[in-house]
Amino acid sequence: MITLAGTIGAGKTAWGNVIADHFGVDLVEEKVEGNPFLAKFYEDPKRYSFHLQVYFLNHRFKAIKKAMTHPNTVLDRSIYEDAMVFARLQYENGSMDKAEYNTYLELHENMMQELYDLYAQQISLKKSPDLLVLVHGSLEEAMRRIKKRGRPYEQIEGNTELYQYYQNLYNIYENEFMTNYLEKEISPVYIIDIDKIEISNPLDVNEVLGGIERTLKRERGFVFPEELK
């Protein structure tokens, strides 16, 4: 199982599709289209942050359970980011109150425990991803990509609070997320620097895919789980 991580606008889904295609699987995507709370959250974060985080958590939980039935899976967002980045930021900036935050953390922990229990029943699979691919670079590049993809509710023109949210989110990824993730020894990490690597450049794509394969081989002992048989 490979899972991607990164701030809003980093390019996780685009790179996830490339990686999934390389491994011959479909990408399990974060549910944006049809999400009943996403646009509402951007309009009124304080009212809808808890709803949105629970919605994403439930979707991610179902996606991981489904992924466990396949030997090779690529997900475009990790469940670890839900608590370590997004819910935490909503609490720190006042969009979630303490009761909502504690309820969310308890729900997250219960779901993680169920996943661990399910993994324990499948000897060939681990309770964590085989690799986390962090898609990261400068805030300026992420903002450029947000503007380019053009979702109206994501645009910062005339909305200084939204820009501050993006900046705070970015700062967690830049300064804390990777350190906390590695300290928990969840999985190996491969980093794609979006300021230096261009997805439209075949040489860059080959470099990334080769790096992912080498990291899997070095850290996990295999590139494809079938090699363990």
Kindly list the catalytic residues: 76
Report the alpha-carbon angle 27-30-33, nearest 5: 110
Query: 146: which strand partners?
Result: none
Token output for 125: 């699979």
Structure token pair of residue 32? 């944006």
Query: 10-42 burial, b if ≥16 CB within 10 A, otherwise e?
Result: bbbbbbbbbbbebbebebbbbbeeeeebbeebb
Distance CA 8, CA 6 (A): 7
